[in-house]
Amino acid sequence: MTTGIHPARPPAAPADTVPAGLLRRPASAGLDTGRPALARLVNYWAGGKDHFAVDRTLADQTTRIHPGMPHSYRAARQAAGRAVARLTANGIRQFVDLNPGLPAPDHTDTHLIAQHIAPTSHIVYTDTDPLALAHCRALHTSDPAGTVTVIAADPTQPAHLVAAVTDHFDRTTPVAVLATNLAHHLDDHHLHNLATQLARHLPTGSLLIVTTHTTPADDRLHAAQQHLTQAGIRYHHRNPDRTASLLRSCGLTASTGSPATASTRPTIDDSRRVPIDVQIAQIGILP
């Protein structure tokens, strides 16, 4: 059972334009199998079974253009899982996982990792994909000592998202927010707004974990990016320095020492040598 004092909700922000591929329809509008969806695309790349022909076609086409793309997504999720394990071992007991998509076939879901180490951990999953929401609600079972909550919330409307997730947390202790495989599907404007709202309304000592695909921005990546965008899934490539600069501009500060370092050493997916950078930014008190 969640405890703590919950302050008044932040004021509602005007609705932003939602990036294509992230939320084409309201989460309550039902399943659309006629167009590819990011959650199902990533599930296919991860070796899952929750996808349709339209998703597999786009995934295979994108992989032919850039063979490292599916490995980047898998490696990013695995790197974030290691970050969750480190943070839990260091005392973090509250996590928000933004748009994690469908449950991971390799069992790297945040609640499995956190509650294995600390059964009293509290996890909130947010998503916009109706299939991801349905699967998470059905399959993400909490340890009795902790909680797992699944809510429909849009990262491009961060004031509403922050208000929704803080209802489920103790506002006196830090929260770790995971934006794994999400940041590169948000443009600078939306990522800046999201990080700013988190910095303003989460407790001091909270953390934002952002994975960055550090694949060089070569012709293959640009072609894959264009192909995904034409299919309705936008992809914004940022190098680690640009990501770190954007996070700092939102009032997030780099911590010194483990686990909250500004940028961990890039991890490598040995199958294709795809580097993944994990940005972990410290949220402090803003003036």
Q: What's residue 22's pLDDT?
A: 46
Q: Say whether 71 sits in a helix, a strand or coil.
A: helix
- Could you tell me the fold of the domain covering 33-283? Rossmann fold (3.40.50)
Domain residue extents for the chain: 33-283
Residue 130: what pLDDT? 93
pLDDT of amino acid 276 = 52
Alpha helices in the chain, H assignment, sequence order: 38-45, 53-65, 69-89, 110-117, 130-139, 158-166, 188-201, 219-230, 240-248
* Contact status, residue 236 vs residue 187, Cβ threshold 8 Å: yes
Q: How many CA within 13 A on the CB side of residue 101?
A: 27
Q: Would you state the torsion angle of the CA atoms of residues 25, 28, 30, 31, taken in this order, to the nearest 10 degrees?
A: 70
Question: Which residue reads 């597999």 in tokens?
Answer: 56
**Cβ neighbour number for residue 116 with a 10 Å cutoff:** 13
pTM of the predicted protein model? 0.81
pLDDT score at 272: 45
What pLDDT score was predicted for residue 20? Answer: 33
132 with 32: CB under 8 angstroms?
A: no
The rounded distance, in Å, linking the Cα atoms of 219 and 39 is: 25
CB 251 within 8 A of CB 244: no
Strands 207-213 and 176-179: parallel
List per-residue pLDDT tens for the chain, 287 residues long.
332 323 333 333 333 333 333 433 344 456 788 899 999 999 999 999 999 999 999 999 999 999 888 888 888 888 889 889 999 999 999 999 999 999 888 888 999 999 999 999 999 999 999 999 999 999 889 999 999 999 999 999 999 999 999 899 998 999 999 998 898 899 999 999 999 999 889 888 898 888 877 767 778 888 999 999 999 999 888 877 788 888 888 888 744 323 333 333 344 344 444 455 555 655 543 33
